Structure 1
Amino acid sequence: MNRIAILLFALLINCGPEIKTYDGERYGLVTNGVILRKEFEKNSERLRELTKGSIVILLGEVHKKPENNEKVTWYKIKSRSGFTGYAFGDYIKPLSLDIGKNELMLKQNKFEIRLKKQLSNMQKKELILLTNFLWMMLLI
């Protein structure tokens, strides 16, 4: 009887998901649009959608064997906007630390350049409006 109980207990432990947390920083690239979920389940609550090309921080991974007995991977991630959740592993490509940091810096630089251009365009438009207004005031 004890052997059966021990065997059932061991079987139960091995059937659960294998959860691994990372030490230090690791990055991942979203290779296709993926849903960030609250738990590592396909039907879990949706937190937000991550777009292709986004860089995320990998906090850990979970390996599961669903009904079809195929091993699937979910990554626990943190998005740049601060959301933490799980994403299906087929859509996340782990990056080396250097590549991850470089990609993140590149995206930040591109964002800053776009922001500066938009501000510059806004300032030009405001200057044109102000000039037109002053000309109209002079003509009155």
Structure 2
Amino acid sequence: MTPAEWEAVCDGCGKCCLNKIEDEDSGEVFLTNVACRLLDNATCRCTKYPNRHDFVPECIVLTPRTLRKNLYWLPQTCAYRLLHEGNPLYPWHHLISGDANAVHKAGVSAAGMTVSELSVDDDDWEDHIIEEPL
């Protein structure tokens, strides 16, 4: 895939930009509604995507090479994860439906449900654990 084709796989759900908590003992990953400071709550897009590392140096660049080691925290509905596992994309995925807003209409995105990490103390993230919108 070209870089543009790779980027087009993203379904725009915003769930990868939600902060996670990993249990040190079990390795289990819990999703929170505490979003990266750069996530637009309405569109589920990064407000500074091209230069996000200037603001969030730890932001992971997902590539075909880094995908495997990052699967454990990617959302269950993530198109990158689905394709890697040999599963089809969901009907609401924009490459299938032709509608970039279908992910939001299907209720599987983080749209409208997040709080900025700037407004929640790190010690309080456990109070923000949620189930993944599926």
Q: Is TM-score (shorter-chain normalized) higher than 0.5?
A: no
Higher relative contact order structure (alpha carbons within 8 Å, sequence separation ≥ 6): 2
Q: Aligning the two structures, in what range does the TM-score lie when normalised by the shorter sequence?
A: under 0.3
- TM (norm. structure 1) is 0.21
Q: Which has the larger radius of gyration?
A: 1
